Amino acid sequence: MAQNLWPQGWCPFARRIDSPNFGPRPPGTAINLALIHSISLPPGIYGGNEIEHLFTNQLDWDAHPYFGQIRGAEVSAHFVIRRDGELLQFVSANDRAWHAGPSSWQGRDNCNDYSIGIELEGLEDHPFERVQYQALADLLQQAIKVYPIKQIAGHEHVAPGRKRDPGQAFDWAALQALVGWDQCCFPAGTTSV
């Protein structure tokens, strides 16, 4: 059974860090969207533990001036891929993580209900590392063995005008080449013909 590959929705090759920021998915919801984000805390600073602290409600809001802008945020994603390719998991993929906010994909609202949220450590206009693309491709290839994921989109595609990640530096064509999925699985205009 495919669910046995990820016991209770936990990927066996990710470092598990439990976030309290999650809830149940609506009953009978098919998890069919992988939603890609980018994050760095503070912006443009990589390698620290601030992302982990944010997703576990332990961030010191006074440690950096930027943190005042997000003070009190209770957010999470299912996965984070660090700059060195390390894979972290904060929420069981069977549960609803809090990553998309107000969102809609192909006429369907509330993307948190039916997506797996994957954050890449980075910024919208900074190139991502090759090892991050490989880790993302590996994660997606494993995820489709467990969940009926048929589409991949960015936060910018499900919340246009409000969000712009993973952004212009994200190489959708490189991801498509690594996963080998058809162009129709990706947002229009992001991959080559």
Walk along the chain (193 residues) and give the pLDDT tens digit of each residue.
466 899 999 999 999 999 999 999 999 999 999 999 999 999 999 999 999 999 999 999 999 999 999 999 999 999 999 999 999 999 999 999 999 999 999 999 999 999 999 999 999 999 999 999 999 999 999 999 999 999 999 999 999 999 999 999 999 999 999 999 999 999 988 976 4
Cα angle: 50, vertex 87, 106; to 5 degrees: 95
Torsion angle of C-alpha atoms 59, 60, 66, 70, degrees rounded to 10: 50
Q: Is residue 170 a part of any domain in this protein?
A: yes
Q: Is residue 192 a part of any domain in this protein?
A: no
Instruction: Read off the pTM.
Output: 0.97
Q: Is residue 157 a part of any domain in this protein?
A: yes
52: annotated active-site residue = no
**What is the domain count for the chain?**
1
Q: Is residue 96 a part of any domain in this protein?
A: yes
Give the active site residue among 74, 86, 119, 121: 119
CATH number of the domain bearing residue 112 = 3.40.80.10
Q: Is residue 91 a part of any domain in this protein?
A: yes
Q: Is residue 48 a part of any domain in this protein?
A: yes
